[in-house]
Amino acid sequence: MLSIRHLDAFYGRAHILRDVTLEVARGEVLVLLGRNGAGKSTTMKAIMGLVRPAPGASVRFDGTEIAGRAPHEIARMGLGYVPEDRRIFTDLTVMENLEVGRQPARDGLEPWTPERLFAIFPNLARMRDRPGGRMSGGEQQMLTIARTLMGNPRLVLLDEPSEGLAPVIVQQMAEAIAAVKAAGLTIVLSEQNLHFARRVADRAAIIEKGIVRWTGTLAALDAEPDIKAQYLSV
């Protein structure tokens, strides 16, 4: 469904991504694993067009080339993006935040409505008119996912959804991701927390210094302690 080939990206002169090549199949959950600064977030931003991919890169989404397109065009094709730092509109209420994310329904998928999202994120239902700035970190994380789903994406990029959350919220987050997958969406998420990744993901790709070092199922990863020690242990 998403096919990335030879993706390079730069911040100024710093070479962040080197020849990243990834395949994401429809309906699967792929987790990008790697340490801080490995290039997981940049990969997602480059897919979204928020960081410009270097010439020669190819990012195909459902067969359409999207490398070099504007972020809003990419989003409208059905790619949703949930940033790591949440970026809730703090002056806007929960309902208004959802409104910003709203895009027309897409063929083959049941359109998301606030009510349907509140079933997955029950906390949000109790604070419809609360400004985003007066919510806890966990609530903001829920809202940012719900806001992206309002755009009725077919594939969601989730950047470190469990980061900095209390264990009970992490539990809710895992359930929410499962619910989103069950709704027929494809998910790419980035994680440092292998335990969390194991609970939600089908397949993993390990990134280190902007290079994809390893891909395979999570079961296969567990069978290779050397890989884990080399790229993931702190």
Partner 1 sequence: MDFILIQFLTGLSNASALFLIASGLTVIFGVTRIVNFAHGSFYMLGAYLTWTITRALWDWGGREPLLFVLAILFAALAVGALGALIEIVLLRRIYRAPELFQLLATFGVVLIIQDIALAVWGPEDLPLPRPPWLRRFVEIAGSRFPQYDLILILVGPAVLAALWFLFQRTRFGILVRAATQDREMVAALGVDQRILFTGVFFLGSALAGLGGAIVLPSQSAFLQMDLAIIAEAFVVVVVGGLGSVPGAFLASLLIAEVQAFGIVLVPKATLVLVFLVMAGVLIVRPYGLLGRPQAHARAATGTVEPVIRPAPAILGWAGAVALALAAAAPFFAGPYAVTVLVELAVFVLFAASLHLMMGPGGIVSFGHAAYFGLGAYGAALGLRFLAVPMEAGLVLAPLLAGLFGLVFGWFAVRLSGVYLAMLTLAFAQIVWAAAFQWVEFTGGDNGILGVWPSDWARGKAAYLWLAIVLCIGATLLLRRMIHAPFGYALRAARDSELRAEAIGLDAVRIRLGAFVIAALGAGLAGGVYAYGKGSVFPTYISIPKSIDALLMVLLGGVQTVSGPIVGALAYHTLFLTVLQAFAWWRLVLGLAIVLLVLAFPQGIAGFVRQRYERARGIEGA
**Contact set with partner 1 (CB under 8 A):** 12-13, 48, 50, 70-72, 75-76, 81, 83, 87, 89-92, 96-97, 99-103, 147-148, 151
Looking at the Cβ atoms of 161 and 231, the one nearer to partner 1 is 161
Looking at the Cβ atoms of 64 and 90, the one nearer to partner 1 is 90
CA–CA dist 166, 156 (Å, integer)? 23
User: Which structure tokens are listed for 113?
Assistant: 């409505």
Q: How many CB atoms lie within 10 A of CB 163?
A: 17
From the CB of 48, what's the least distance to partner 1, in Å?
6
From the CB of 147, what's the least distance to partner 1, in Å?
7
For residue 147, the Cα-to-chain-centroid distance in whole angstroms is: 13
From the CB of 167, what's the least distance to partner 1, in Å?
28
CA–CA dist 156, 47 (Å, integer)? 11
Looking at the Cβ atoms of 170 and 186, the one nearer to partner 1 is 186
Looking at the Cβ atoms of 73 and 224, the one nearer to partner 1 is 73
In which element (H, E) is residue 31 found? strand 29-33
First-to-last CA distance in the chain? 33
Type of residue numbered 201 = A
From the CB of 217, what's the least distance to partner 1, in Å?
30
